[in-house]
Amino acid sequence: MTFLTILVAAGVRAAPQLLINPLETDLRWTRDGIAFAISIGLLIYGGIGPFAGRLMDRYGPRALMLTGAVIIGFSQLTAALMTELWQMTLLIGVLGGVGTGITAGVLSATVANRWFVARRGIVLGVFGAALSAGQLVFLPLIAWLIGGLGWRTSLVVLAAIIFAIVLPIFLLMRDDPADMGLEPYGGPAPGGGGAVADGSVMLRAVRSPAFWLLSATFFICGATSVGIVGTHFIPHAHDHGIPQDVAVGTLALMGSMNVVGTVASGWLTDRFDPRKLLAWYYTLRGLSLLIVPYLTGAPELIAFAIIFGLDFIATVPPTTTLCADLFGRRNVGLVFGWVFAAHQLGAAAIAYLAGIARVNLGTYDQAFLATGVIAIVGGMMALTIRRAPRPVTVPADPPSPAMAGTPAD
């Protein structure tokens, strides 16, 4: 159920970029105004994460998943009736941000760290793949619906899909392995050693340079993924004369590569230093963004989709693992919630600023070039994170003959 919930929430979160051109045409709204509404949704999507993470750490994820799904469905249903730009800001921005932030932001980190001790990285990779699969499934579907039924009916259909998962969540989701008489996979039930949720963990975190470096690199992650590509790639392609179905197909291919890249990243995170993985991911992302202004044909778009798609969400498993290693597995919901808030702050900032750049410069090219440079800087920053050493168990020396005593008579 976690995978399905993340998939649906991610699909909803990716949908607004498909509305930009129809809303400009139908309601005569401005590009920067629409971008502002989308950026509010991205900001709240991240800002709600720490609070959702705290509630999940205390009460479990099931109730939060149900609440989030209902809020998302209501926001999409009522957005089908909007006629003013402020309504988009409220319904898709504020309500949509709250709902998707609850169900997609910190849910994967919380569930993975409650249910798994071994293979945690690969599980996080699979949940990250759900984010990618949401884009892969929903973007072509919504584009097809908008083309055939219009954007209002498409939002109604999207709301119906979301409401359809509420009952399965209620019936099938469990908060903890102990609810089923089980232990986490690969280890005993959490207890001690930082496994119990610590109410003062954020006091320790804000005094730790590692926390701020994780937040800064994830800010860059949000800016260079959701902020620029996830919000403006289709309008950018439209500006360059690339048909919408080709642009949507590029994002769908990117989504399929996300699945491969994120699962692979989880596997790699179980085996290699997460900081070095992040350095590679951000550098590769930056180089791929630098070529976006020069993409004009299908071969170039395919190459970009493959390269960028492989590390679009690959940063999540190593970042989450570092949060767990530094601050404790049972504190991941809260700590990663704040790190994820930084991610969405970066996404919101670039989503809005790129819209302003497009209005004033007539092109997105400078925005893509700037985010490419920022991503490379993020790769350098990742290498400076000081990782807490893993505990090492040293076998006790056998007792010497002199200390062993003599057998009883």
Rounded to an integer, what distance in angstroms lies between the CA atom of residue 146 and that of residue 107?
Answer: 30
Give the pLDDT mean for 261-266.
82
Considering only residues 237 and 290, tell me which one the structure prediction assigns the higher pLDDT: 290
User: Residue 309: pLDDT above 60?
Assistant: yes
Confidence of residue 213 (pLDDT cuts 50, 70, 90): very high
User: Residue 296: pLDDT above 50?
Assistant: yes
The pLDDT of residue 289: 93
Q: Is residue 38 part of a domain?
A: yes
Give the pLDDT mean for 236-261.
82
**Residues counted in the chain:** 409
Q: From the centroid of its chain, how far is CA 295?
A: 26
The pLDDT of residue 386: 82
Q: Is residue 182 part of a domain?
A: no
Q: Are 230 and 346 in contact (CB under 8 A)?
A: no
Compute the half-sphere exposure of residue 372: CA atoms within 13 Å on the CB side of its CA. Answer: 15
Q: Are 349 and 38 in contact (CB under 8 A)?
A: no
Q: Is the pTM of this model over 0.75?
A: no
Confidence of residue 341 (pLDDT cuts 50, 70, 90): confident
Q: Is residue 355 part of a domain?
A: yes
Tokens of 137: 């499934």
User: Residue 393: pLDDT above 60?
Assistant: no
Q: What's the domain range around 209?
A: 2-176+201-387
In one letter, which amino acid is 140? P
Return phi, psi of residue 173, to 5°: -75, 140
Confidence of residue 398 (pLDDT cuts 50, 70, 90): very low
Return phi, psi of residue 116, to 5°: -135, 135
Q: Nearest to residue 229, comparing CAs of 307, 165, 328? A: 307
Rounded to an integer, what distance in angstroms lies between the CA atom of residue 8 and that of residue 41?
Answer: 16
Considering only residues 260 and 290, tell me which one the structure prediction assigns the higher pLDDT: 290
Helix (H, G, I), strand (E, B) or coil at 75: helix
CATH for 330: 1.20.1250.20
Q: Is residue 407 part of a domain?
A: no
Helix (H, G, I), strand (E, B) or coil at 269: helix
User: Residue 214: pLDDT above 80?
Assistant: yes
Among the ranges 14-18, 201-205, 268-272, 373-377, which has the highest mean pLDDT value? 373-377
Considering only residues 210 and 394, tell me which one the structure prediction assigns the higher pLDDT: 210
Rounded to an integer, what distance in angstroms lies between the CA atom of residue 68 and that of residue 73?
Answer: 9
Confidence of residue 325 (pLDDT cuts 50, 70, 90): confident
Give the pLDDT mean for 237-256.
81
Q: Is residue 190 part of a domain?
A: no
The pLDDT of residue 155: 93
Within 8 A by CB and 6+ apart from 373, the residues are: 286, 290
Quick one: what percent of the chain has pLDDT higher than 90?
23
Minimum mean pLDDT range among 30-34, 48-52, 229-233, 379-383: 48-52
Q: Are 239 and 354 in contact (CB under 8 A)?
A: no
The pLDDT of residue 157: 93
Minimum mean pLDDT range among 51-55, 139-143, 207-211: 51-55
The 8-class DSSP code of residue 105 comes to I
In one letter, which amino acid is 389? P
Tokens of 210: 């590692």
Compute the half-sphere exposure of residue 307: CA atoms within 13 Å on the CB side of its CA. Answer: 18
Q: Is residue 409 part of a domain?
A: no
Minimum mean pLDDT range among 73-82, 97-106, 180-189, 291-300: 180-189
Q: Is residue 313 part of a domain?
A: yes
Q: Are 222 and 357 in contact (CB under 8 A)?
A: no
Confidence of residue 193 (pLDDT cuts 50, 70, 90): very low
In one letter, which amino acid is 391? P
Q: Is residue 408 part of a domain?
A: no
pLDDT, tens digit (0-9, with 9 covering 90-100), for 97-122: 888 888 866 777 778 777 777 776 67
Q: Are 75 and 364 in contact (CB under 8 A)?
A: no
Total domain count, the chain: 1
Rounded to an integer, what distance in angstroms lies between the CA atom of residue 73 and that of residue 70?
Answer: 5
The pLDDT of residue 25: 87
Among the ranges 129-138, 321-330, 373-382, which has the highest mean pLDDT value? 373-382
Render 19-68 in DSSP notation, one character per residue.
GHHHHHHHH---HHHHHHHHHHHHHHHHHTHHHHHHHHHHH-HHHHHHHH
User: Residue 407: pLDDT above 50?
Assistant: no
